[in-house]
Structures are given as structure tokens and as C-alpha cells.
């Protein structure tokens, strides 16, 4: 066989560069001949140079296309896409269609802001005392047919609506639960509007606003509430909706709702957990405090500067312009507030219906009950316009679950590691006929070649016996 030495030492190769190159070529040829990669054995076996070149071009073309496809697959994987049936999106830029939306202020709005600033100059205790008391507003309360009372409500103060009351917040004891759907197994309230105590110019409608929310979230009934009109029985049927969103790298949602909320003004006042709405409002309010030296009376003041700065005066051109500039920046999403949406969120889908209340056949019985409440009720239900007065001042509200089936919306990765491996395997098999076994063959061949080279480099005079057919190197 070519390459044998003439000194009778069979089974060894000469250490000259030519012999080393010949040994390496034979080793590579043997690996190509037994390779399971489509095209590689054809290149090695072809005796015609044209055919060898053709197979080489085909193999390199397949390698190039496969590389392009694999790079595209990795790009698709590291895009961190996800699939979801429904996603809740909040974006300030989408809420206002015109950049100058906040420039024009109506006369009614100006009067409202002036009164709002006047109230903001008083303490929270004074503002609460000026608002409606639940003891006067709540005429009757029942939960699953069992009587409830103002003790089941927690009070908060809303800068736009005044005193607000949360039923079943859980802050003063165990939360109430219901185990059956339907109006008989929910909350039923009879409410007194007290129109005679409304402040002139502060509101244009009479009634209530109701917001259904998770106990740990801050309600914003002025923006999100359901209007409850006097003279009607309003029924709100609920279905619970749970949302699970993927955190980084798939999306920008907040997983821990209790961290990094020290600047949230609503957390400071009511110890609520993180909510995107409160974060956006707090970001806006803190920016107003920092740049204008006052706070917007539409929202709560930060406790960090409480009683050290005053509410921005609507009669001050400088402070009004400063407020307007920040409002425009917020509308254009230029405040750079870090307010991602929560990764897990519980909300409620509502179905609202109403009917005239009380019915004519029920009036006499209702009047008898109302006469027992207080002197104001007793005087009006015994007057000539008892029916009209009742329909202008009394409202009934029912809140209950429509059904206990709830919607669960979960974001899942659109492209996972098994998908990536499967697609890469498909591309390797389609273009080159490669498999996992082929990869091990390539690794084995690379190891043999490296062992051959390192052995020759380590000792150029050392003789090595190479058995190409058995794929072994004997030193």
C-alpha cells in the first residue's frame, strides 16, 4: 500500500509532510465515504471531476439554504412572540385623537375646577364631612338575603366624586363569599340620592356611580363607573375574567405588584397594590408637583409633600399653563412613565339592565318602610308628590354573578424550544439529510482529525498507524 516505509516497519506512516498530508486525506475520505449526510458520500465516490463538482455545488447550496433557514428560525425564536385570544391595551396616545384636545376649556369646566381647588385646600377630614354619609344614603342592604349595614363598607375619598364606599373590601375582616349565581345570592341596595344636598355647579346629573373591581385595586368610578339612576332598579350581572400575561422577554408586564410602588399616591393613602391606572395618575401627579410646585386637585396629593404645597390654582395663568403642558405630554406619551400592565389581573365583565322602580303596586309598601327611616323620609312619603319625590331620590341596585363560569385568558409562547428544535431538524433533513446521528459522526470525525494533527504536531518523528476503514488512530 502506498505510504508504507521500506524499512519493514509495517503498520506505520512516514512522518514527512507529504506522508502526513496523505494520511489526513485518507482519513477525511474515509469519513466522507461512511457519512450519513446526503451528498457527502457522492462527492467522495465520484471519479469524474465534473460529477464531483456538481455534487459539491449541490451540497454547498443546500448548506447555504439550510443556514439561511436556521438563522431565520433563531430570529423567530428570539423575537419572543406569544399568542393570546384577547389582550387589554391601554395607551395614552390612543385615547386622545387630537394633540390639542386639552387646550380648550368650557365655562362649566372652569367653574368646576375652581370649586375643586377650593375643596382641595381643606383637609381630607373636612372634605369627607362635607360629602354624603353612607348612614344617610344607604336605606336598605342585603347580601344573599341576609341584612348588611354600613359596617360592611370601607370609605375612600375621590377628588372628583367625593365620598365613595367599597363593599366587601376585606380590610376590616373576612371577605363575604357567594356560592350560587343569580340576583337572590348577591348584593341588593336601596339608596337615597339626597338631591337637596347637591352643591350647585359641581355636578350635572343625579345618581350614583358604581365600579366593580378587585378588592386590592383602586377604583376610578368617575372614569370607569356605571351610572345608577334614581327611579330605577339597576341590575349588574357579573362574570369574572382572569388574565395571565407573559413577563420579559415576551412582554413588558409587572409580576410583583407589591414592589416599587412607594411613589404611588393611592398606595400611600389606601395601601392598595400596583395598578396601571394608579401608576399613570401618580406619575402625572408627581411630575406636576416636581415641575409646577403644586398638585392637580383632580387627584390625591402625594403624602411625601402633603401640607407643604397647595393645589394648582385655575386662576393662575402660570400654574394653568404648567398643568396643560404636562397633560399634553401625557396625552402624547412623552412623560416616560414606567407603568407596565400587571402580569396577573382579575377583572369583571358586566351586563347592565334596568327597570322602573318602584312599581305602582309596590309603592304603598315602600312608603310604609320609608316612613320608619327618618324624618326626611316620613315627611316626603306623606306629601302630595310622594311618588315623584321617590322616583327622583331613590334608586335600587342589585349586583350578582350571572354564572360561575369565568373566562381565563392566558398568554403562551408562540414559539418554544421544542418548536425551534423541530424546525431546525426539518431544515437539516430537507436540505442535507442530516440527523442527530450525523452530528455525532461529524464530531467523531473531527476528533479523529484533531487527534491526528495534535499527535503529529507534538512529535513530528513519532509514527502513527492509521486504519481508515476502522476509523481508529493508533499512536
What are the boundaries of each domain within the chain? Answer: 17-78+416-474, 92-410
Residues 6 or more apart whose CB falls under 8 angstroms from that of 44 comprise 29, 32, 33
Determine how many CB atoms are found less than 10 A away from the CB of residue 311: 21
Please spell the DSSP secondary structure of 453-474, one letter per residue: HHHHHH-TT---EEETTTTEEE
The pLDDT assigned to 101 comes to 46
> What three-state secondary structure class fits 21?
helix
CATH of 92-410, picked from 2.60.120.620, 2.60.470.10, 3.30.565.10, 3.30.70.100, is 2.60.470.10
SS3 string, 72-116, reads HHHHHHCCCCEECCCCCCCCHHHHCCCCCCCCCCCHHHHHHHHHH
The pLDDT assigned to 153 comes to 93
Strands 226-228 and 208-210: antiparallel
Q: What whole-number distance in Å separates Cα of residue 202 and Cα of residue 147? A: 34
Please spell the DSSP secondary structure of 283-339, one letter per residue: HHHHHHHHHHSSB-TTSPPPTTSTTTS-BPPTT-HHHHHHHHHHHHHHHTT-S----
For 52, 222, 246, 416, 450, the CA distances from 457, given in Å and listed in that order, are 32, 82, 54, 45, 10
pTM exceeding the 0.75 threshold for the entire prediction: no
Residue 439 grid cell: 452530528
- pLDDT by residue for the chain (475 residues), tens only, comes to 344 444 444 444 455 666 666 666 676 766 666 666 666 776 776 667 777 787 777 778 777 777 887 888 788 778 777 666 554 447 545 444 555 544 556 666 677 777 778 778 877 788 888 888 999 899 999 999 999 999 999 999 888 888 999 999 887 777 888 888 999 999 999 999 988 887 776 677 889 999 999 888 889 998 888 999 999 999 999 999 998 998 888 888 988 888 888 889 999 988 888 989 999 999 999 999 999 999 999 888 998 887 888 899 888 889 989 998 998 898 888 888 889 999 999 989 999 999 999 998 988 888 888 888 878 888 888 878 888 989 999 999 999 999 888 888 888 888 787 788 788 888 777 777 777 667 766 777 787 778 777 777 765 544 545 555 555 544 5
The pLDDT assigned to 352 comes to 95
For 97, 113, 117, 263, 293, the CA distances from 315, given in Å and listed in that order, are 27, 9, 10, 28, 15
> What three-state secondary structure class fits 428?
helix
- What angle (nearest 5°) sits at the alpha carbon of residue 48, between those of residues 46 and 51? 70
Q: What whole-number distance in Å separates Cα of residue 223 and Cα of residue 226? A: 9
CA neighbours closer than 13 Å in the CB half-sphere of residue 219:
27
Residue 431 grid cell: 436540505
The pLDDT assigned to 452 comes to 76
The pLDDT assigned to 38 comes to 65
The pLDDT assigned to 1 comes to 38
The pLDDT assigned to 238 comes to 93
- For the chain, count helices (H), then strands (E): 16, 17
Amino acid at each position: 500500500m502506498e505510504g508504507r516505509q521500506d524499512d519493514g516497519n509495517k503498520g506505520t506512516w512516514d512522518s514527512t509532510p507529504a506522508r502526513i498530508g496523505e494520511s489526513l486525506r485518507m482519513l477525511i475520505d474515509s469519513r466522507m465515504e461512511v457519512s450519513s449526510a446526503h451528498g457527502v458520500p457522492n462527492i467522495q465516490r465520484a471519479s469524474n471531476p465534473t460529477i464531483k463538482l456538481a455534487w459539491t455545488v449541490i451540497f454547498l447550496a443546500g448548506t447555504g439554504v439550510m443556514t439561511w433557514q436556521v438563522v431565520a428560525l433563531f430570529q423567530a425564536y428570539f423575537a419572543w412572540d406569544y399568542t393570546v385570544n384577547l389582550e387589554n391595551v391601554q395607551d395614552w396616545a390612543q385615547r386622545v385623537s387630537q394633540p390639542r384636545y386639552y387646550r380648550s376649556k368650557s365655562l362649566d369646566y372652569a367653574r368646576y375646577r375652581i370649586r375643586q381647588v377650593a375643596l382641595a385646600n381643606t383637609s381630607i377630614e373636612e372634605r369627607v364631612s362635607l360629602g354624603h354619609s353612607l348612614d344617610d344614603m344607604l336605606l336598605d342592604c342585603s347580601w344573599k338575603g341576609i341584612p348588611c349595614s354600613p359596617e360592611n363598607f370601607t370609605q375612600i375619598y375621590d377628588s372628583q366624586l367625593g365620598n365613595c364606599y367599597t363593599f366587601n373590601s376585606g380590610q376590616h375582616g373576612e371577605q363575604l363569599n357567594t356560592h350560587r349565581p343569580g340576583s337572590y345570592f348577591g348584593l341588593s341596595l336601596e339608596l337615597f340620592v339626597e338631591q337637596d344636598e347637591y352643591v350647585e355647579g359641581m355636578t350635572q346629573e343625579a345618581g350614583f356611580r358604581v365600579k366593580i373591581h378587585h378588592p386590592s385595586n383602586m377604583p376610578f368610578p368617575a372614569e370607569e363607573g356605571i351610572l345608577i339612576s334614581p327611579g330605577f332598579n339597576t341590575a349588574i350581572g357579573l362574570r369574572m375574567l382572569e388574565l395571565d400575561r407573559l413577563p420579559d422577554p415576551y412582554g413588558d408586564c409587572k409580576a410583583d405588584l407589591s414592589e416599587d410602588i412607594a411613589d404611588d399616591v393611592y398606595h400611600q393613602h389606601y395601601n392598595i397594590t400596583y395598578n396601571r391606572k394608579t401608576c399613570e395618575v401618580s406619575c402625572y401627579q408627581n411630575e406636576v408637583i416636581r415641575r409646577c410646585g403644586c398638585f392637580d386637585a383632580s387627584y390625591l396629593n402625594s403624602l411625601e409633600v402633603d401640607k407643604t404645597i397647595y393645589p394648582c390654582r385655575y386662576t393662575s395663568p402660570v400654574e394653568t399653563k404648567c398643568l396643560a403642558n404636562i397633560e399634553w405630554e401625557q396625552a402624547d406619551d412623552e412623560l416616560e412613565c414606567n407603568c407596565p400592565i400587571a402580569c396577573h389581573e382579575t377583572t369583571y365583565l358586566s351586563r347592565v339592565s334596568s327597570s322602573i322602580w318602584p312599581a305602582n303596586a309596590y309603592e304603598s309598601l315602600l312608603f310604609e318602610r320609608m316612613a320608619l327611616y327618618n324624618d326626611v323620609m316620613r315627611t316626603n312619603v306623606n306629601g302630595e308628590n310622594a311618588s315623584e319625590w321617590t322616583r327622583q331620590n331613590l334608586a335600587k341596585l342589585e349586583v350578582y354573578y350571572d354564572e360561575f363560569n369565568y373566562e381565563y385568558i392566558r398568554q403562551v409562547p408562540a414559539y418554544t424550544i421544542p418548536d425551534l428544535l423541530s424546525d431546525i431538524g426539518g431544515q437539516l433533513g430537507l436540505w442535507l439529510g442530516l440527523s442527530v446521528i450525523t452530528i455525532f459522526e461529524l464530531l467523531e470525525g473531527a476528533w479523529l482529525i484533531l487527534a491526528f494533527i495534535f499527535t503529529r504536531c507534538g512529535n513530528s518523528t513519532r509514527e502513527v498507524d492509521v486504519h481508515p476503514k476502522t476509523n481508529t488512530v493508533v499512536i
